[in-house]
């Protein structure tokens, strides 16, 4: 079992990383809108990006850079404009921002990775961007994680950061992370950005594999509204500054590092789901006894993404039928007579049959009311046992409230 502890510092907790966040004037609100993470030395870089066919310039830029060389020194992120569906000029804007930052940091442009978030179809405000690069670099510090996390937000209500530490070869190894996301969130990435820093030494191929698996077990298992975005990105840098032996092959040490990486990503993913636009609670779906992990993942995220399930939870209605229906349409084969569903501590369905709360009508009403009251908790746990194997998985989402419609109806007005 991997032992790690939570520590302060976010993305600057690992050795050799600095961060900054400033107000450059990209947002009309006047809130901070330009963030930067920098490694003092070259870092192995890995990325997972949106599956959408409509992509922001920064996504194509990062994919292109990481295909050429799997290393980087800096991640530059703006909020306010998505720079998606902006054509050739949007691409040129992205190139210019990388070149501006590289010149100011005195590094090569191909050592810069980019991310953007905001309104689709809007180019970045380049005049503000050009003026903002120098003060952004000047603001870099080893305590700048919180400022950077603030600068990447759009409709988010809270910042999302974490840092964990473990011991490898008698030396501390740290992973830090920060993320943004609130709406347009759905599996296969979403309008979410996540940046992870690590001071372990790890091979290029192994790091990319770890990051992909961690994303599959975290960010690809969250859903708010069923909409996949143009801009989503998970970018992870590992700079080796912990001075631990290089991890170059699978084994106990690699598993230890990946477990901590997955924990960081799951923490950020759950924070995104909990901060879903208009959400009043986090929904956690645990699926057990599935044929394999992929099947468990599919059932879990189908339930978490069901509008009917999400609406029922917002209405504090313990409607297990909607949960069963979502599991049944997930595309995973199982026998309905083996299905078991629990809502918190309340057993609702067993062996494919509804479980009466109590034979006494009055008592039955009270217990149903108690199950409804459970749905007022900050986190609602749905447990589904398929009785079809030994694999497990989780997914996270949020309830669907009136405010979700209001927030998105007014997003660009």
Q: Determine the pLDDT at residue 189.
A: 44
| Same-domain status, 245 and 162 | yes
CA angle at 198 for the pair 133 and 153, rounded to the nearest 5°: 45
| 390 is a domain residue | yes
- The domain boundary residue, chosen from 244, 272, 300: 272
| Same-domain status, 315 and 391 | yes
CA atoms of 43 and 112, how far apart (whole Å): 11
CATH code for the domain in which residue 48 is found: 3.60.70.12
Q: Which two tokens stand for residue 227?
A: 């909409």
- Write the DSSP symbol of residue 246: P
CB 37 within 8 A of CB 238: no
Look up the domain containing 232 and give its range. 5-272
| 225 is a domain residue | yes
Q: Determine the pLDDT at residue 225.
A: 57
| Same-domain status, 168 and 312 | no
CA atoms of 195 and 332, how far apart (whole Å): 32
| Same-domain status, 104 and 211 | yes
| Same-domain status, 310 and 377 | yes
| Same-domain status, 258 and 289 | no
Show Cβ contacts of residue 29 under 8 Å, excluding neighbours closer than 6 positions. none
| 277 is a domain residue | no
E-strand stretches of 82-159 = 112-119
| Same-domain status, 108 and 209 | yes
Whether the per-residue pLDDT at 413 is higher than 50: the answer is no
Which one of 66-80, 188-202, 389-403 scores highest in mean pLDDT? 66-80
- The domain boundary residue, chosen from 246, 272, 298: 272
Q: Structural domain tally of the chain?
A: 2
CA atoms of 154 and 140, how far apart (whole Å): 22
Please report, rounded to a whole number, the percentage of residues in the chain having pLDDT higher than 70. 91
Whether the per-residue pLDDT at 359 is higher than 70: the answer is no
Task: Give the pLDDT confidence of 306-321 residue by residue, as tens digits.
Answer: 999 999 999 999 999 9
Task: Give the pLDDT confidence of 87-117 residue by residue, as tens digits.
Answer: 999 999 999 999 999 999 999 999 999 999 9
pLDDT-derived band at 191 (thresholds 50, 70, 90) equals low
| 236 is a domain residue | yes
CA atoms of 322 and 316, how far apart (whole Å): 13
| 400 is a domain residue | yes
| Same-domain status, 77 and 113 | yes
- The domain boundary residue, chosen from 272, 300, 315: 272
| Same-domain status, 303 and 165 | no
| 65 is a domain residue | yes
Which single residue is written with the structure tokens 């930052």?
101
* Total number of residues shown for the chain: 413
Q: Which two tokens stand for residue 214?
A: 């961690």
| Same-domain status, 223 and 146 | yes
| Same-domain status, 219 and 137 | yes
CATH code for the domain in which residue 374 is found: 3.10.20.340
CA atoms of 57 and 51, how far apart (whole Å): 14
E-strand stretches of 314-378 = 340-343, 346-350, 353-354
Mean pLDDT of the 6-25 span: 98
| Same-domain status, 190 and 325 | no
Task: Give the pLDDT confidence of 254-269 residue by residue, as tens digits.
Answer: 999 999 999 999 999 9
Q: Determine the pLDDT at residue 309.
A: 95
Q: Is 341 left (phi over 0), alpha (psi -120 to 50) or beta?
A: beta
Q: Determine the pLDDT at residue 3.
A: 85
Which residues form the catalytic set? 191
């Amino acid at each position: 079992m991997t032992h790690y502890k939570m520590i302060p510092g976010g993305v600057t907790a690992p050795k050799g990383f600095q961060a900054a966040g400033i107000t450059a004037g990209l947002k009309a609100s006047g809130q901070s809108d330009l963030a930067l993470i920098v490694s003092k030395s070259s870092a192995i870089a890995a990325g997972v990006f949106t599956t959408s066919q409509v992509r922001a310039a920064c996504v194509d830029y990062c994919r292109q850079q990481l295909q050429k060389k799997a290393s980087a020194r800096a991640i530059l992120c703006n909020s306010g404009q998505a720079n998606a569906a902006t054509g050739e000029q949007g691409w040129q804007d992205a190139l210019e921002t990388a070149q501006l930052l590289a010149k100011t940091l005195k590094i090569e442009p191909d050592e810069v990775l980019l991310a953007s978030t905001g309104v689709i179809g809007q180019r970045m405000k380049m005049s503000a961007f050009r003026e903002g690069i120098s003060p952004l670099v000047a603001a870099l510090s080893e305590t700048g994680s919180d400022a950077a996390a603030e600068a990447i937000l759009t409709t988010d209500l809270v910042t999302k950061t974490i840092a964990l530490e473990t011991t490898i070869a008698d030396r501390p190894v740290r992973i830090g992370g920060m993320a943004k996301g609130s709406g347009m969130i759905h599996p296969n990435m979403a309008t979410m950005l996540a940046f992870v820093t690590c001071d372990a030494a790890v091979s290029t191929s192994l790091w990319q594999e770890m990051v992909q698996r961690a994303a599959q077990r975290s960010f690809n298992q969250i859903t708010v509204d069923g909409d996949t975005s143009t801009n989503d990105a998970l970018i992870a840098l590992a700079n080796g500054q912990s001075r631990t032996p290089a991890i170059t092959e699978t084994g106990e040490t690699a598993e230890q590092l990946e477990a901590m990486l997955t924990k960081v990503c799951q923490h950020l993913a759950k924070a995104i789901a909990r901060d879903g636009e208009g959400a009043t609670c986090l929904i956690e779906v645990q699926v057990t006894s599935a044929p394999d992990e992929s099947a468990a993942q599919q059932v879990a995220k189908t339930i978490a993404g069901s509008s009917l399930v999400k609406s029922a939870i917002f209405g504090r209605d313990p409607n297990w039928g909607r949960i069963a229906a979502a599991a049944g349409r997930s595309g995973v084969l199982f026998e309905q007579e083996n299905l078991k569903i629990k809502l918190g501590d309340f057993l609702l369905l067993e062996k494919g049959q509804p479980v009466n709360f109590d034979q006494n009508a009055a008592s039955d009403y009270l217990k149903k009311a108690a199950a409804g009251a459970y749905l007022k908790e900050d986190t609602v746990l749905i447990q589904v046992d398929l009785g079809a194997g030994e694999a497990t998985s989780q997914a996270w989402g949020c309830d669907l409230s009136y405010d979700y419609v209001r927030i998105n109806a007014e997003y660009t007005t």
